[in-house]
A and B are shown apart, each in its own frame.
Chain A
Amino acid sequence: MLIALGILSVSIVFVALVAGTVKGTRDSAYESVASHIADNALVALRAGGYAALPADGSFDDPGLAELPQGSASTSVSVWNAETKQVTAGISWQGADGNTRFISLTTLVASSGGL
């Protein structure tokens, strides 16, 4: 009886640990996809230049299809008279059901820069 209880307890702990690591691995994959989407968005916005920076809003990316309930948005704010701060944010539903969010930020100047 004690042996059976011991094995049952170990099994429950084991399954709980496995479930946690599987979720962690899945979240890692989602985060990789999300960070590349955000990075690509910033590359595109920087390439477009200061004058073409959009207003705040959502944007589409093929990679969002790989994220559960994935959505992407950019926000543009004035940093100073000749510079704007651009943030690309990605949100998705994590493996545990909670909403995850990452964002990347850059500065785009009205003259010079890359």
Chain B
Amino acid sequence: MSRGFTLIEVVVTVVLFTALALAVAQLDIFYDRVVLFQKASIEVVAGGNAVVDAVRTAGLQARRVVAAHTFSGVEYGSGATAVVFELPAVDAEGAVLPDTYDYVAVDASGASAFRRTDAAPGSARLSGEKRLTNVLGALGFSYDTPDVPSVRSVTVDATTSAATAQLHLRGQVRLRNP
């Protein structure tokens, strides 16, 4: 004679499967949160490094800091929230083009930081803008002297933040080609 399940057995089975389903759902929610946190942390670190490295790279090649320059019809000026470098233009072989200069600016707009390049004709550098990060919290520049043409050292403070992750990086660059 065949035997079916008792009510108790069915109830226990349903409870067990419900508990397991809840556990799996919680695991999925936890995984999503971890992924978001990890993604935010990586963006914060990468963004901060991109900003500081952009300033450092441009500064090391720069001849001087200029008060202002126009990029694609918009003027950007060196100050507390942006910096504009004048770099000797170089051709594709790396040779310096006499009396020819490229301009590179790093500035913030909302939660984004940009590197803008205005390359002279014949320069190996490419004109355009590049978004360095879109998780910028704050961007500040300070100089060794308020007299812009005399600036020899630039300090950049970049704070990036996303979700619960935050990072503050400070970079200092000393102009080597004044």
Chain A interface residues toward B at CB < 8 A? 3-4, 7, 11, 14, 18, 21-22, 25-26, 28-29, 32-33, 36-37, 39-40, 43-44, 46-47, 61-63, 66, 114
Size class of the contact patch on chain B: 20 to 34
Tell me if B71 counts as interface (CB < 8 A to partner A): no
Residue contact A46 to B174, C-beta cutoff 8 Å? yes
Q: How far is the CA of A111 from the CA of B172 in the complex (A)?
A: 23
Chain B interface residues toward A at CB < 8 A? 16, 20, 23-24, 27, 30-31, 34, 37-38, 41-42, 44-45, 48-49, 52, 153, 165, 167-174, 176
Residue contact A36 to B170, C-beta cutoff 8 Å? yes
The 6 tightest CB contacts between A and B, nearest first, are: A25-B41, A40-B172, A114-B176, A29-B45, A43-B172, A18-B34
| 8 Å CB contact of A14 from B27, B52, B170 | B27
Known contacts A33-B167, A44-B172, A63-B168; 15 additional CB pairs below 8 A are: A4-B20, A18-B30, A21-B34, A22-B38, A29-B44, A29-B165, A29-B167, A32-B45, A33-B168, A36-B169, A37-B170, A39-B172, A66-B167, A66-B168, A114-B176
Residue contact A11 to B27, C-beta cutoff 8 Å? yes
Q: How far is the CA of A6 from the CA of B63 in the complex (A)?
A: 64
Residue contact B31 to A14, C-beta cutoff 8 Å? yes
A39 closest partner in B (C-beta) = B171
Q: Which residues of A contact B24 (CB under 8 A)?
A: 7
B173 closest partner in A (C-beta) = A43
Interface centre among A7, A29, A47, A61 (most CB of B within 10 A): A29
Q: How far is the CA of A26 from the CA of B24 in the complex (A)?
A: 27
Tell me the minimal C-beta distance from A38 to chain B in angstroms. 11
A3 closest partner in B (C-beta) = B20
Tell me the minimal C-beta distance from A7 to chain B in angstroms. 6
Q: How far is the CA of A18 from the CA of B33 in the complex (A)?
A: 11
Q: List 14 contacting pairs A-B, 8 Å CB cutoff, sorted by A.
A: A7-B20, A11-B23, A21-B34, A25-B45, A28-B45, A29-B167, A32-B49, A36-B170, A36-B171, A39-B171, A40-B170, A46-B174, A63-B168, A114-B174
Tell me the minimal C-beta distance from B152 to chain A in angstroms. 8
Q: Which residues of A contact B44 (CB under 8 A)?
A: 29
Tell me the minimal C-beta distance from A32 to chain B in angstroms. 5
B168 closest partner in A (C-beta) = A66
Q: Which residues of B contact A33 (CB under 8 A)?
A: 167-169
Tell me the minimal C-beta distance from A93 to chain B in angstroms. 17
Q: Which residues of A contact B167 (CB under 8 A)?
A: 29, 32-33, 66
A41 closest partner in B (C-beta) = B172
Residue contact B173 to A4, C-beta cutoff 8 Å? no
Q: How far is the CA of A4 from the CA of B37 in the complex (A)?
A: 28
| 8 Å CB contact of B23 from A7, A40, A46 | A7
